[in-house]
Amino acid sequence: MAGLRMTTPRLLVLNAFLDDPTQERYGLELATAAGLEPGTIYPILVAFENAGWLISREEQVDPHLQGRPRRRYYALTAEGTTAARDALAGNARRRGRRGAPNRKLAW
């Protein structure tokens, strides 16, 4: 977690992951679940992956049958799950002190 600054979009993505920490999700699906504007999620995912919070893998499908390139699926690591819970709890405490419980961005 060292050096990873928490922003509202990052917290929303972590929150979406923690809805089911064991589930693998792809970018567009995660952006929709987190309430982020589609297309903006990839820097967040790459940052989390670089920090070791996420692992990713390519799906094993035939791109020609699917009519699109293979998707990349992301999942929380054990370290990422702990860090995400810590980050969200820390954010909730700060918001509690400030009295601003809003969790979703409006796009």
Partner 1 sequence: MVTARRIDRVVVAALGSALPPPFRARQQAEWAADLADLARGDRPAARWRYVLAATRTLPALHALARHAQVDGPRSVSPPVLPTTRMLAWVVATSLGWTLLSWSTVIAGPYLAAGANPDPSPTWPIADRLLPAPLKVALQLGGYAAAGMDLLLVAVAAVVTAGFLLLSSGRGWRDRLNTLARGGLIAMVTLAVTVVDMFTSLATTLNGLALSLTAVAAVGLALGRFGLPRRWRIVLGVLAAAGFAVVITDNTFGSAMIVWFRD
What is the smallest separation between the CB atom of 12 and partner 1, expressed in angstroms?
Answer: 15
Nearer to partner 1, 73 or 85 (CB): 73
Q: Which residues contact 95 (CB under 8 A, 6 or more apart)?
A: 101, 102
Nearer to partner 1, 57 or 95 (CB): 57
CA distance 44 to 13: 8
List the strands of the sheet with 25-26, edge to edge. Answer: 25-26, 72-76, 54-58
What is the smallest separation between the CB atom of 95 and partner 1, expressed in angstroms?
Answer: 25
Q: Which residues bind partner 1 (CB under 8 A)?
A: 26-28, 37-40, 42-43, 46-47, 49-50, 56, 58, 62-64, 67-72
